Amino acid sequence: MITAALTFFTITQGATPQNPVAPIPGYKLAWSDEFDYKGLPDAKRWNFEEGYVRNGEKQFYTKARLENVMVTKGMLTITARQDGFQGHDVTSASIHTNGKFDFKYGYVEVKAKVPTGRGTWPAIWMLGSNIGKAGWPLCGEIDMMENVGYDPEKMHFNVHTKAYNHSIGTNKGANITVPKVWDAFHVYGMEWTADTIKWFFDGKQVFEFKKEGDDATKWPFFENQYLILNLAVGGGWGGQKGIDPTIYPSKYEVDYVRIFQK
């Protein structure tokens, strides 16, 4: 458990799903998905990644396949399956807002329930919309939440820039221990301003990354970013202890996604 003092804020009561109120004063809803419909994720809000995308991961991300991503009963569920679909041993889904909605500065909140099991790697994260031009890591990456199934009670919060990233052993981040985190929904929050990024878990601040200057290799977060929700299996981090063959189907559930801005 990190030992830094935690900051608390009160979640506003009385808000309706159609008009949620920001937990931090001064923000207004700019974009959201309450998943109050059925079928595939709303095409006006989300795009799909497809294929074997990154990190040497085991899963093949499918596009618009209900078996891997479905909205029902007010919930988005991303499911990793060992089903051999189109010759791919393991399938899952990764959805993102690139091309639909990106933004600069704001407060992001996601209520989600992670799966567990050796090999799982669910995440809530963001990338700079200029990644096609700048590439990674110069585009900047904000990891609102990551969890790897071989260390299931530890929740990770990280930032990656050209100067600070895991590939050179300099990434900035924190983690907390949450007993049986997979048994319940939790609220993941991130406030991004012109000079700081703060991470929250169930209303408690768990990490802060401060701007050190105008050097884009250290602070690229003056460009728009887009949001990603995915469930990976295996890969460079998630697969470090192997993959338990009994984890399938593995379900990652999301109750809502809300983005507020001033």
Cα Rg of the chain (Å, integer): 17
Strand 69-72 with 59-61, pairing: unpaired
Residue 169 has which token pair? 């052993």
Q: Which domain holds residue 189?
A: 28-261
pLDDT (tens place) for every residue of the chain, 262 residues total: 333 334 444 444 445 566 798 899 999 999 999 999 999 999 999 999 999 999 999 999 999 999 999 999 999 999 999 999 999 999 999 999 999 999 999 999 999 999 999 999 999 999 999 999 999 999 999 999 999 999 999 999 999 999 999 999 998 999 999 999 999 999 999 999 999 999 999 999 999 999 999 999 999 999 999 999 999 999 999 999 999 999 999 999 999 999 999 9
Number of domains in the chain: 1
What would the pLDDT profile of 154-188 be if each residue is shown by its tens digit? Answer: 999 999 999 999 999 998 999 999 999 999 999 99
Residue 120 has which token pair? 């799982």
pLDDT at 6: 44
Is 11 inside any structural domain?
no
The whole-model pTM stands at: 0.93
Is 16 inside any structural domain?
no
Q: What is the CATH number of the domain that holds 206?
A: 2.60.120.200
Is 255 inside any structural domain?
yes
Is 8 inside any structural domain?
no
Is 240 inside any structural domain?
yes
- Cα dihedral 172, 147, 231, 129, rounded to 10, equals -20
What would the pLDDT profile of 216-256 be if each residue is shown by its tens digit? Answer: 999 999 999 999 999 999 999 999 999 999 999 999 999 99
Residue 24 has which token pair? 């931090």
* 56 torsion bin: left (phi>0), alpha (psi -120 to 50), beta (else): left
Is 17 inside any structural domain?
no
**122 preceded by a cis bond (ω within 30 of 0):** no
pLDDT at 176: 98
pLDDT at 29: 96
Our CA angle for 241, 119, 258, nearest 5°, is 135
Residue 76 has which token pair? 């988005």
Is 50 inside any structural domain?
yes
What mean pLDDT, rounded, does the chain reach?
Answer: 94
Q: What is the DSSP annotation of 68-128?
A: TEEEETTEEEEEEB---GGG-SEEE-EEE-TTT--BSSEEEEEEEE---STTEEEEEEEEE
pLDDT at 19: 77
Q: Give the residue numbers annotated as catalytic, written as ranges.
A: 141, 146
Is 5 inside any structural domain?
no
